[in-house]
Amino acid sequence: MAAGTKGDGPAIGIDLGTTYSCVAVWRPVHQRVEVIANDQGNLTTPSCVAFTDTWRLIGDAAMNPVNTVFDAKRLIGRRFSEESVQEDMKLWPFKVISGTSDRPMIAVKYRGEERQFTAEEISSMVLVKMRETAEAYLGTTVKDAVITVPVYFNDSQRQATLDAGLIAGLNVTRIINEPSAAAIAYGLDNTSVSGDAIAKTVLIFDFGGGTLDISVINIDKGTFAVKATSGDTHLGGEDLNNRMVEHFVQEFLKKHKSDIGGNPRALIRLRTACERAKRMLSSTAQAKFEIDSLHDGIDYYGSITRALFDELNMDIFRKCIEHVEKCLGDVKMNKSQIDDVVLVGGSTKIPKVQQMLQDFFDGKKLCKRINPDEAVAYGAAVQAAILNGEYNQQEKDFLPLDVTPLSLGIEAEIDRFMSVVIPRNTTIPVKKEGVYTTIHDNQTSILIQVYEGEAAFTKDNRLLGKFTLNGIHLAPSRVPRINVTFESEANGILKVLAEDRTTGNKNSVTITSDQGGLSAEEIERMVRDANTYKSEDNKRMMK
């Protein structure tokens, strides 16, 4: 499913984060971006949904109830059987089960019965909250939105994010990468976007709640060209929280000879305390917390020093630096060639992260001018305004150019090696073609299997999807010429077309099927369900 076209009214930018989300809008009259506060007065909203016997709570109100779902971004577009999903499930207090096509389904108790939701549905509820936050502030209906995703989100995860937007009643005009959005925020706050300013090469270090994204971006006269990317869609502040939770679960077991691992309520209370302690450690050397009757009637008093926190997470911090090295290596740049290291995401507030980055860049002062919690939504709002025609004429020269984070290609039938059509770090949108042939005499069909990855053999890469081209003309092996065209849109969504040059027979696919993506009928049902849930919420609010 492609992104939508421009609609009427204002367009918003949404940073749909793993732990927190943020919404912003470009104000043409004032010629500036405004980050919009929610109904609690906060500029960021927890990306969580709670289900009770009578209510469905989203955002700040959903932080404490037991039946709370979070981390939907770590499930979206994934298979239930994936190792990362299985590992996360061990620490989540909510239940995840396998649905059709190996799709992870979140099972919750709501209004006295068990209901199952996809990650797209949970994410759509957060998006509805963002949309309603914007509508309350702007005093008008909002339909158009740009939504951001991590650089290394694959095609299925991007498609699933588009689906979540559709379920939320949004016309998603573009999916853009989070570091690119942050670069826009940096660029508009920096004189390098003006015509007579010198070009700058910046490294965006985006370490958020669930993901790590690193991009080297050249900014010159309003053009934002991504040169290389690196990152991990499963490395963020939540992993730091998990380490703390595991530490205190073991400490509780050692002290009290009682295991809280099977107590969902205790785990969510402990996780909340760990999150607060982590934030405190960014400004103090030690954090303490107290939880009344945590488990088996036992009051728990926890304490953690910054040094212990750093020790628990040192391997994660080292991984971050390794990704910085990889990104610079891909673009064949020395670290001295980076003009600014821009910090984005809440996890960049951690002193050890800042220290290790500064040490890596030989003492270079890190750029903290832009708000790390709001920068991605800020840049998304600017992109939304450009696509919606709300930006003024002079600034329409502004152009963000993203890249493909991984190589894209097909499997060669003879030896199963990866035949790359679009190399990684290719600027998108892009359209490239490869020419292939048959391996058997009078072969009339060919299976096109599409992969992403850097390994030489497809077994070590990720299968994105497959389709068959039939009706190939009868000929000896290696005679037919099959054109395979890859087209990667600005959203990062991939379309593949195969054509027999002799007969003109064609077949194509938009890569969605491998992950068991939502069908049009499923999306329609989820839209209806979303409207029903909203109606039920409104009725209860009026009582």
Q: Which residues are catalytic?
A: 15, 73, 178, 206
Give the integer Cα–Cα distance in Å for 228 and 402: 9
Residue reference for tokens 């400004």: 283
CB distance 262 to 93 below 8 Å = no
DSSP codes of every residue in 362-421: TTPPPB--S-TTTHHHHHHHHHHHHHHT-S-GGGGG-EEEEE-SS-EEEE-TTT-BEEEE
Give the integer Cα–Cα distance in Å for 50 and 265: 13
Cis peptide before 429 (omega within 30 of 0): yes
CB distance 365 to 338 below 8 Å = no
Residue 489 has phi, psi (to 5 degrees) of: -75, 170
Indicate if the alpha-carbon torsion angle 312, 69, 90, 246 is positive or negative. Answer: positive
CB distance 195 to 221 below 8 Å = yes
Output the six-digit token pair for 313: 């997470």
Pairing of strands 482-488, 462-470: unpaired
Residue reference for tokens 């040192």: 314
CB distance 277 to 305 below 8 Å = no
Output the six-digit token pair for 282: 């960014």
Distances (CA, A) of 421 to 102, 412, 508, 526: 29, 12, 15, 36
CB distance 45 to 60 below 8 Å = yes
Output the six-digit token pair for 7: 């609609």
Burial of 440 by CB count in 10 Å (0-12 exposed, 13-18 middle, 19+ buried)?
exposed
Give the integer Cα–Cα distance in Å for 63 and 214: 29
Output the six-digit token pair for 278: 């982590």
CB distance 186 to 375 below 8 Å = yes
Strands (E), 111-220: 113-117, 144-149, 171-177, 200-207, 212-220
Task: Determine which helix (DSSP H) or strand (DSSP E) holds 482, and give its type and residue range.
Answer: strand 482-488
CB distance 94 to 108 below 8 Å = yes
C-alpha dihedral (259, 262, 268, 270), degrees to nearest 10: 10
Residue reference for tokens 């304490």: 303
